[in-house]
Amino acid sequence: MPELPEVETVARTLAPEIAGKKIRSLDCLNASSWEDTLPSSCLAVFQPKIRTVGRRGKLLLMFFDPFVLEGQTVLGLAFHLKMTGRLFYYSEPKEAEKHTRIILNLENGQRVFFDDARKFGYCRFFTENSAQTWTFWRKLAKDPLEMAPAEFVQAVKGKNAAVKSVLLQQDIVSGIGNIYADEALFRAGILPDRKAGSLSERELVLLHESLKAVLEDSIRFCGSSIKDYRTAKGDVGSFQNKFHVYGREGQNCHFCGRPLHRKTVAGRTTVYCVCCQK
């Protein structure tokens, strides 16, 4: 399940391959994977050059030379990988695979595949007025790496929901999913079902530091490959070998040695240590 470190890794592995190249066309093999009222066929008309590849929260962004269509200034393509989405770069011609949903045809036969077994992911344009026309885009908050400590404290404090639930809300803080929520809460020594509003200023600052640390550590290891996630070059990440809690229910805590517990918080499987987290 690609979260911030995985999307960041895909962006970093994709950028050197496709930056500076023109998009010739887009093939949509599954209608629901193209989530825009503007037609993807306009790419074949404008053939924009990709400038850079970036990330906003868990959205992967391809910025290209803007063009105007139906009164909208199109700035680039946004991909949300959700759970099983993958982006692969191929320098050689390649047949679509079973789960290939979108193919981006570049110059010289090079292509980018958007594969997505469960079809939760999507691709669409982002435009100069996405803040008016795209609710998710408008509400998407900064990620922990972009936030100053005081910004994080301000965003989270006073919320009545469980702190884990708050961490998963992309309009409060972006980029975090089930894995990094559990890992950061463990590092910070905070129980996942504590009400966010019950956390002290010191705990909130520690949680922010823990989030930044776990996200940066994971980026260093090219993200976590549980099952589906790969880099744009098809390589696995290795941060899954560094997990303290995620997927380790019943196994011993790396710090105190006691078995880790599991419960549902915010509707998600949650693993934690009753001894090390308060």
Partner DNA sequence: ACGCGTGCCTGTTGGC
Partner DNA sequence: TGCCAACAGGCACGCG
118 in contact with DNA (CB under 7 A): yes
Give least dist CB 107 to DNA, A. 31
How far, in Å, CA of 95 to CA of 97, rounded? 6
Q: What does the angle CA 8 – CA 14 – CA 15 come to, to the nearest 5 degrees? A: 90
83 in contact with DNA (CB under 7 A): yes
How far, in Å, CA of 142 to CA of 98, rounded? 35
Helices (H) and strands (E) counted in the chain, each on its own, are 8, 10
- Given the residues 58, 124, 164, 187, the one annotated as active site: 58
Assess whether 139 carries a catalytic annotation: no
Assess whether 93 carries a catalytic annotation: no
For DNA, the binding residues in 174-213 under the rule CB under 7 A are 177-179
3-state secondary structure of 215: helix
> Of 168, 166, 205, 165, whose CA–CA distance to 189 is shortest?
205
111 in contact with DNA (CB under 7 A): no
162 in contact with DNA (CB under 7 A): yes
**CB-based burial of residue 158 (10 Å sphere; 0-12 exposed, 13-18 middle, 19+ buried)?**
exposed
Instruction: Select the span of 45-53, 80-88, 204-212, 229-237 touching DNA (CB under 7 A).
Output: 80-88
Q: What does the angle CA 157 – CA 149 – CA 10 come to, to the nearest 5 degrees? A: 105
How far, in Å, CA of 10 to CA of 5, rounded? 9
170 in contact with DNA (CB under 7 A): yes
136 in contact with DNA (CB under 7 A): yes
Assess whether 111 carries a catalytic annotation: no
Assess whether 3 carries a catalytic annotation: yes
Q: Which of 8, 34, 40, 57 binds DNA (CB under 7 A)?
A: 57
19 in contact with DNA (CB under 7 A): no
Q: Which of 3, 8, 17, 143 binds DNA (CB under 7 A)?
A: 3
58 in contact with DNA (CB under 7 A): yes
Contact 197, 165 (CB under 8 A): no
Catalytic residue numbers? 2-3, 58, 268
Which spans of this chain sit near DNA (rule: CB under 7 A)?
1, 3, 32, 57-58, 80, 82-83, 98-99, 117-120, 135-136, 159-162, 165, 168, 170, 177-179, 227, 266-269
